[in-house]
Amino acid sequence: MYPSVRRIPRAAIFAGLSLCAWAAAFAAEPPAAAGAAPTRRNAVIFVADGLRHDSVNSIDAPTLLALRQRGVHFANSHSLFPTTTTPNAAVIATGHYLGDTGDFSNTEYVGYPIFNHGNFGKSAGTPAPFLENDEVIGDVDDHASTGNFLNEVTLLALAREQGFNTAAIGKLGPAGIQDVTQLRPVGGRFAVPQTVILDDSTGKADGIPLAPEIRTALATAGLGIMPAPRDQPAGTAATPGTLAANVGQQKWFADATTKAVLPAFASSGRPFVLLFWSRDPDGTQHNQGDSLNKLQPGINGPTSRAAVANADANLRQILDCIDGDPALRASTDVFVTSDHGFATSSRHEIDSAGHGSHGYATTFTYAGSDGKPDVVPGWLPPGFLAIDLAHELELPLFDPDSQIHGDGAARYEPVDPTKPPSTVSRQRPALGNGLIGGTGAVQDHPDATIIVATSGGADLIYVPGRERAMVRRIVAFLGRQDYVGGLFVDPAFGAMPGALPLTAIALEGATQMPRPSVVVSFKSFLLSPGDLLSAVQVSDTALQEGQGMHGHLGRDNTFNNMAAVGPDFKQGFVDALPVGNADIAPTLAQVLGLELPSTGRLRGRVLAEALVGGPDAAPFRHETAVSSTTPAGLATVLQYQEIQGRRYFDTACFVAPARERHARNQLCTATQESGRAR
């Protein structure tokens, strides 16, 4: 339940005092008597979405750098693959790898057309929805037998059940995932959650409702109940994207955190767990307009750097609030992470020498609604993998994100790159996703032979009929494509040339969600040898060349930023052991005195070496897994680290194994150095 919120005098808001300190002065509980049990800990998790480890510097991110120096710097940190937002949000929330949570990517096949039961007053939509949406998450929850599509208990849910105040604030989608069952609809609509959830949709008709106490706290702080809108146009193939960071929206979230939610929590006298998810630098790096159709400066230009500074400012505001109250500082652990790294998008080049892709989809000119090209001629269009695969298999292609209606029935719009777009046919999928085969009918059990869900630097391919011969054809075809950087296949189909099993990357586990049959990581390369900030990845995206993307299995994407500070963490300690997002929930659960239950076995570890009194080091190994080779002599080479039975994935590439250590333009060779302590 929510704490009783005291009305804050408006004069106090504008006084030069820390609001956290002001609220603590009115704490409901008296000071502990001598010999009493120690104060229960609080925890803050700060996620800077898409922040690369090497983007942290004294100019753009002084707060993040100082936190590294003050507390624990995790110098060998890891995102989970696919390196996208909602999978890593689920990992941070539960401490389980993707094979257990079933959150495989931002867009994934869920087995039915979303909203087919009419939740939220919507009609049946795509069977491959984008999960950065509260209503989508709620609907997927509603279809899960347990009411929890992740099938694991989250840290916030456990803390809430044990009497902690809880909040998830920031980016739409990953915030709600932190207490995912609170999004399950009741009577087709959201109920008021027991965790405070503030995101892009707060205050809107389709948003998660607020408890009266929190509405009052926001109003008293002079904030209103709706964040500023995000105003960051992505541009087009001919016009650049945004030149400004997402300052206004994120300032509202930071103000809501420090002027309303934390004061309310402090005044209750109960411990709390709060997660703040900063959309920047991710959102700005995606949409930045510094580098239209150019690989340089890519996501290293002034707009992206401003986004790093924006996230840093949000963190500074939260830390100032906590540090302003000695009692709060003494009882609060702060864990900073990023869900994934980033790279500059290529929609053409497949290596640093400038060679372009020659896939089937590149042979057409794609026109927009105005008749002008909306893809640079000869470049990869959004949905190139679905287009290429449908052509290879000689099957019809449909766009799951676009419907046409006729004769009282809804159908997904056909896609045919050989024909100009019309009112009943598209040249390419709108978002890149594709339904291959079948009739295109919108029905509870889609009849597509293959579903392609795009994820930027990686695509997921589902074969619902489980035909082994079809999966073999798909893998064999992909093994011949010049944009492929790694192949992984469901082990139920047996070993296949060029592909490693999903078990190698922890994508097979206890989940009840549909598991992809094939996962493709696209090619990547470095413009400057040894510099991960210069990384470029082939991207199946509607964004432009030169903008930012993530998703693939490369060290530029897996090397996220992680650090921690607080009473339970060592001071001035550099942790050289492999760590990852799956380790956050188990570690914080231990310091909070909680025990996370578990359904699956793909769990992270407690970061004992980072905790006060823990060992400074432990043995770990660098390992390499190599698939069998294709007829052309190529194999998927996976490099990872292992400690206490957990794997931390560094990078993968698709090369001739004998040449792996000398492969030009591949990130495999950068792993050993970039993954070690700096």
**Architecture of the CATH domain 43-96+152-345+558-596:** 3-Layer(aba) Sandwich (3.40)
pLDDT at 20: 60
Integer Cα distance of 261 and 4 in angstroms: 12
Q: 120 and 185 in contact (C-beta within 8 Å)?
A: yes
Sign of CA dihedral 88, 92, 95, 100: negative
- Phi, psi dihedral angles at 539 (to 5 degrees): -135, 130
DSSP H helices, 459-524, are 468-478
Q: State how far the Cα of 516 lies from the Cα of 502, in Å rounded to an integer.
A: 9
Predicted TM-score of the model (pTM): 0.94
Give per-residue pLDDT as tens, 303-312. 999 999 999 9
HSE-CB for 277 with a 13 A CA cutoff: 31
For residues 6-31, average pLDDT: 38
Q: What's the mean per-residue pLDDT of the chain?
A: 92
Domain-wise residue ranges, the chain: 43-96+152-345+558-596, 346-549, 619-674
Is 5 or 286 the better-scoring residue by pLDDT?
286
Contact status, residue 626 vs residue 635, Cβ threshold 8 Å: yes
Element (H, E) at 574: strand 573-575
Respond yes or no on whether the N-terminal peptide bond of residue 631 is cis (omega within 30° of 0).
no
Which one, of 539, 88, 498, 506, lies nearest residue 299 by Cα? 539
Residue entry with tokens 């008296």:
30
Residue 405's alpha-carbon distances to 332, 443, 649, in angstroms, are 55, 13, 45
**Looking at residues 455-478, what average pLDDT do you find?**
98
Q: Report H helices in 448-490.
A: 468-478
What percentage of residues in the chain have a pLDDT greater than 90?
89
Alpha carbon distance 13, 19 (integer Å): 7
Vertex 341, ends 338 and 347: CA angle to 5°? 145
Local confidence band at 524 (pLDDT 50, 70, 90 cut-offs)? very high
The tokens describing 136, both together, are 């989508």
The predicted-structure confidence for 170-210, as pLDDT tens digits, reads as follows: 999 999 999 999 999 999 999 999 999 999 999 999 999 99
Q: At what angle do helices 384-393 and 468-478 cross, to 10 degrees?
A: 120
In 286-396, where do the E strands start and end? 332-337, 343-346
State yes or no: pLDDT of 570 exceeds 80. Answer: yes
The tens digit of pLDDT for each residue in 39-78 reads 689 999 999 999 999 999 999 999 999 999 999 999 999 9
Q: How many residues does the chain have?
A: 678
pLDDT in the model for residue 436: 99
* Opening angle at CA 359, ends 356 and 364, nearest 5: 95
Q: Which residue has the higher pLDDT, 16 or 183?
A: 183
| CA separation, residue 360 to residues 388, 422, 490, 667 (Å) | 6, 21, 26, 26
Mean pLDDT, range 391-419, rounded to an integer: 95
CB atoms closer than 10 angstroms to residue 9: 11
Q: Write down the pLDDT at residue 220.
A: 95
Average pLDDT over residues 470-478: 98
CA 144 vs CA 393, 480, 569: distances in Å: 33, 38, 37
